Amino acid sequence: MLEGILMGLTTAVSPINLAMVVAGCMVGTFIGMLPGLGPISAIALMIPITYGLEPSTGLILMAGVYYGAIFGGSTSSILINAPGVAGTVATAFDGYPMAKKGQAGKALAIAAYSSFSGGTIATLLLLVAAPSLAAVSLSFHSTDYFALMVLGLTAVAAFAGKGNVVKAILMTVLGLMISTIGTDQTQGIQRFTMGITDLIDGISFLLLAMAAFALSEALLVVLRPKSDKARAKELEAQSNLGSMKLSKAEIKEMIPVIGRSSLLGFFVGVLPGAGATIASFLAYGMEQRIAGEKGKEFGTGSIRGLTAPETANNAACSGSFVPLLTLGIPGSGTTAIMLGALISYGIQPGPRLYLDNPTVFWSVIISMYIGNVVLLILNLPLIPYIAKILSIPSNILTPLILFFSLIGVYFVSFNTFDIHLMVIFAVAAVGLRLLDFPLAPMLLGFILGGMMEENLRRALLINDDSWSFIIERPLTLSILLIAAATLVLPAILSKASVWFLNRVEKNKANES
Amino acid sequence: MKNTTRNILAAAAAATSLFLAPGAIADPIKSIHFLIPGGPGGGWDGTARGTGEALNKAGLVDSVSFENMSGGGGGKAIAHLIETAEKAGSTLMVNSTPIVIRSLQKVFPQSFRDLTPVAGTIGDYAAIVVHKDSDLADFGALISKYKADAKSVAIGGGSVAGGMDHLVAAMVMQAAGANPTEVKYIPYDAGGKAMAGLLSGEINALSTGFGEAIELAKQGEVRILCVTSAERVDAAPDAPTCTEEGASVEFVNWRGFFAAPGISDAKKAEYVAALEKMYDTPEWETVRARNGWVNIFNADDDFITFLENQEEVLGKLMKELGFL
């Protein structure tokens, strides 16, 4: 194995391959920054270019583009609340509020450090354990995926902190409901399509996210002109826009979050039915719950709230290479395209790839890591300039955001109906936001709802409509118990601590 | 077999045209606009772009352009092609077996009859696959287990209930003399996830594309119980056909091209000729090998007969299964 790794390393650091990583990262970052365009579009664009290249060179280029696009996606999430990729939606939850407070440079820097660390830790795990992790990626049955989605749904609690419990739950239900529109994944029955052909394929997550976040935000800017005072305050905040300074305390705060989120993200990524989006939501929810008092800052520009999803989604991307390389099973749309590219080189991923073709196997993994380093080196010096985008006057920036958001969604489907639908959703989102309904739970419900339903129905089909799997499968049961505990424990703990403190004070009073 | 016939035909065609117009085989088609009913990156997209690339590079078509139009399970593009038929003389739409299934299911009101079928160009057979450690030693074992207790055999696939993978499983069971309505079909939203389901052990067997199973079979992770081809496939000479195993059934999941309704026979013949010539070019071989496609050429009237037959077989089965 060591020999294979060394061979991979020599291949990956050859001048041409290094040049490819750099080129791929740059192109990927740029494409990823455009709202709506993510790694799938970026890699699809690259495929024709890679045909003439050596297999490992071509793959290295694509791995660079992949990483770059994910990295770039967080930039548009943070700066203009327009997630370019589903995996960076959770990044916008705290990244955008930070940018609004005038800390855009800091937010981008945190995202860069988190992505880098998440990628680094995940790549190390991949190096050490990729071949043996294949078993892990096959250990999950549909029942376990269902339980995992339920656990993911408890992340809603993170948005219910401000006394908005009912509103957060209502929005989650709305998201679950929207996820049922279209052809159902089990029986092929059309639901709530109202005879409209364009709804048969359902509503795309990206469309919903862009409408709820980017478009509604831009519309609100137009609807709520800022007072002179607010404007002056904003200009003052912007003077510091490009600053990337992090205090020691802040770095200390990030480190444990990075450790936990990269492990969580990597293992979720290894599961073919989960992926980066679920990983980022789970990490966000988990950190919010264990942050205690600090958890209340989530959603208003919390450093932990930004670090967790950014680390987890990058770690999950590395993790998703485990089922791809060791089993030939793509866990996501992007890895499906990567699989196509591998096959086109005559390389069939599978359990024998790292034995038969060690150079390819290890050079892909090592170049992913080099991609990580290159991204950090490329992007850190650029952050102050990229952050300055926000100092563009809003009468120019807002139309640009609207334009790129609409174009981005159109480029995914090439269907004008999607644009109409997006505008309708955006108007509805503006209404909901004015009434103080949080939109993030809706997206959470939407993305988890579809997968939860699909896995539950499959589990029921396999078990002849018996629900006994909940108790019979230890893995399912434990995940569900964790989900229940995360919902109930915080309430009990806070009650208990109040009771405990009261007792201590009473004792003190008695003593004196 | 088919290949030889085609070679002879191509040679004959080349000879005739040489005789008629020395120097030029035939004028290349000026332009083809490929209409793709799905988004970039999918199977339809790859087929159209690969075919376009080969036709163009081989000098059979001067210029090619592509347009993605997703929506309505492909119905949007079909409606568009019919609506704009008068101006769409140079448009070819890519499609595949689902056009037959979805029109039977009334996902969209049109069928292949509302278009001009040009040719099926590539295809994949279906296969029934089990995990390497499965207690089902061969196809016979699967059938006897199924006949004893159909509920004990969960068969997965990468399409919805009533979709292609389900229909293939039912078709094979029917041909083996078992009751096709009892298939305990477990749907996954993609072939890859269905394969993960099989490897995880939550289903007993998998109905999938032969091409999706071949590599894992070569590496010993899964076993192919039978393939829906007429004869054993060269890529896996050890995998028996379903017919050999006592289930007399053939199934090809084809991909091919359709032109707008009402185009002239001459125009159609031009497309057929260009596609036919394409098979012998190195440019096509590059594209084909790159994607691991299997040449299954089926043009013009043969293609229409094939589609009618497939529609009849699938329609009858879907009625029996209660999906129509």
SS3 for B176? coil
- Is A355 an interface residue toward B (CB < 8 Å)? no
Cβ-based burial of A275 (10 A; exposed 0-12, middle 13-18, buried ≥19)? buried
- Is A198 an interface residue toward B (CB < 8 Å)? yes
Query: B3 to each of B53, B250, B275, B297, how far by Cα in Å?
Result: 22, 19, 14, 9
Q: Are the beta carbons of A233 and A214 closer than 8 angstroms?
A: no
The chain A residue lying nearest B66, using CA atoms, is: A414
Please tell me which of the candidates A273, A415, A461 has its beta carbon nearest to residue B71.
Answer: A415
A184/B154 CB distance under 8 A: no
Q: Give residue A447's pLDDT.
A: 86
Please tell me which of the candidates B185, B202, B289 has its beta carbon nearest to residue A141.
Answer: B202
DSSP E strand boundaries for chain B: 29-36, 61-68, 91-96, 116-131, 154-157, 184-187, 205-209, 222-227, 252-259, 294-299
B161/A187 CB distance under 8 A: yes
Q: In angstroms, rounded to a whole number, what is the distance separating the alpha carbons of residues B194 and A413?
A: 25
Q: Say whether pLDDT at B15 is over 90.
A: no
B291/A343 CB distance under 8 A: yes
Query: A355 to each of A9, A131, B12, B148, how far by Cα in Å?
Result: 16, 10, 48, 42
Residue A323 C-alpha, separation from nearest chain B C-alpha, in angstroms: 9
Helix ranges (H only) for B180-295 are 191-200, 210-218, 265-278, 282-291
User: Which residues from chain A sit within 8 angstroms of residue B221, using beta carbons?
Assistant: 327, 350-351
Helix (H) or strand (E) holding A215: none
User: Cα B42 from chain centroid?
Assistant: 14
User: Which residues from chain B sit within 8 angstroms of residue A333, using beta carbons?
Assistant: 41
What DSSP assignment string belongs to A266-283? HHHHHSTTS-HHHHHHHH
- Beta bridge pairs of residue B130: B223
A327/B221 CB distance under 8 A: yes
Give the number of other CB atoms < 10 A from CB of residue A89.
Answer: 29
pLDDT in tens, B70-128: 777 888 899 999 999 999 989 999 999 999 998 998 888 999 999 999 999 999 899 99
pLDDT in tens, B229-285: 999 988 889 999 999 999 999 999 999 999 999 999 999 999 999 999 999 999 999
A327/B196 CB distance under 8 A: yes
Q: B interface mutation test: which of A329, A332, A353 has the most B CBs within 10 A?
A: A329
B3 compared with A404, residue with greater pLDDT: A404
A198/B188 CB distance under 8 A: no
Q: In angstroms, rounded to a whole number, what is the distance separating the alpha carbons of residues B186 and B208?
A: 12
Mean pLDDT by 10 residues, chain A (512 residues): 75 82 87 77 75 77 83 87 82 90 90 91 85 81 92 78 78 93 85 86 87 89 74 67 81 92 92 84 87 79 92 89 82 74 73 76 79 85 83 84 85 84 94 90 89 93 91 92 82 76 78 63
Write out the two tokens for B158. Answer: 């990468």
Tell me how many degrees the CA angle A266-B215-B178 measures, rounded to the nearest 5: 105
DSSP state of A320: T
Query: A139 to each of A4, A109, B196, how far by Cα in Å?
Result: 27, 37, 10
Write out the two tokens for A248. Answer: 């020691």
Q: Are the beta carbons of A462 and B202 closer than 8 angstroms?
A: yes
- Give φ, ψ of B92 to 5 degrees: -120, 130
Tell me how many degrees the CA angle A133-A445-A143 measures, rounded to the nearest 5: 40
Q: Say whether pLDDT at B57 is over 50.
A: yes
Q: Give residue A232's pLDDT.
A: 67
Q: Which residues contact A191 (CB under 8 A, 6 or more apart)?
A: A180, A181, A182, A183, A184
Cβ-based burial of A458 (10 A; exposed 0-12, middle 13-18, buried ≥19)? buried
By C-alpha distance, which of B199, B195, B225 is closest to B208?
Answer: B195
Q: Give residue B146's pLDDT.
A: 96
Q: Are the beta carbons of B252 and B123 closer than 8 angstroms?
A: yes
Q: Give residue A476's pLDDT.
A: 93
- Is A343 an interface residue toward B (CB < 8 Å)? yes
- Is A204 an interface residue toward B (CB < 8 Å)? no
B105/A188 CB distance under 8 A: yes
| Axis-axis angle for helices A416-434, A216-223 (nearest 10) | 60
pLDDT > 70 fraction of chain B, expressed in percent and rounded: 91
- Is A350 an interface residue toward B (CB < 8 Å)? yes
The chain A residue lying nearest B35, using CA atoms, is: A414
pLDDT > 90 fraction of chain B, expressed in percent and rounded: 63
Write out the two tokens for B116. Answer: 């001009």
For chain B, list the domains and their CATH numbers.
2-123+252-321 (3.40.190.150), 125-227 (3.40.190.10)
- Is A420 an interface residue toward B (CB < 8 Å)? no
Q: Looking up tokens 């450093």, which residue turns up?
A: A303
Q: In angstroms, rounded to a whole number, what is the distance separating the alpha carbons of residues B242 and B245?
A: 5
Structure confidence at residue B33 as a pLDDT band (50, 70, 90) = very high
User: Which residues from chain A sit within 8 angstroms of residue B216, using beta carbons?
Assistant: 327-328, 350
- Is A334 an interface residue toward B (CB < 8 Å)? no
Q: Which residues contact A269 (CB under 8 A, 6 or more apart)?
A: A122, A275, A276, A279, A315, A316, A317, A318, A319, A320, A322, A331
Sign of the dihedral through C-alpha B170, B173, B175, B177: negative
Please tell me which of the candidates B160, B193, B203 has its beta carbon nearest to residue A186.
Answer: B160
Residue A197 C-alpha, separation from nearest chain B C-alpha, in angstroms: 5
By C-alpha distance, which of B143, B140, B136, B204 is closest to B178?
Answer: B143
Mean pLDDT for chain B overall:
87
A197/B291 CB distance under 8 A: no
User: Which residues from chain B sit within 8 angstroms of residue A413, using beta carbons?
Assistant: 39, 68, 70-71
pLDDT in tens, B189-198: 878 889 989 9
A201/B195 CB distance under 8 A: no
Please tell me which of the candidates A272, A336, A351 has its beta carbon nearest to residue B219.
Answer: A351
Q: Are the beta carbons of B203 and B134 closer than 8 angstroms?
A: no
B189/A185 CB distance under 8 A: yes
Question: How many pairs of residues across A and B have Cβ atoms under 8 Å apart?
Answer: 131
Q: B interface mutation test: which of A205, A327, A345 has the most B CBs within 10 A?
A: A327
Residue A308 C-alpha, separation from nearest chain B C-alpha, in angstroms: 27
- The type of residue at A496 is A
Cβ-based burial of A249 (10 A; exposed 0-12, middle 13-18, buried ≥19)? exposed
Q: In angstroms, rounded to a whole number, what is the distance separating the alpha carbons of residues A452 and A142?
A: 9
B72/A198 CB distance under 8 A: yes
Query: A301 to each of A78, A82, A85, A102, A306, how far by Cα in Å?
Result: 10, 16, 20, 11, 8
- Beta bridge pairs of residue B129: B206, B224
Give me the torsion for CA of A457, A459, A461, A462, rounded to 10°.
170
pLDDT in tens, B34-51: 999 987 767 788 899 889
Q: In angstroms, rounded to a whole number, what is the distance separating the alpha carbons of residues B111 and A269?
A: 41
pLDDT in tens, B173-184: 999 999 999 999
A200/B73 CB distance under 8 A: yes
| Axis-axis angle for helices A276-290, A89-98 (nearest 10) | 50
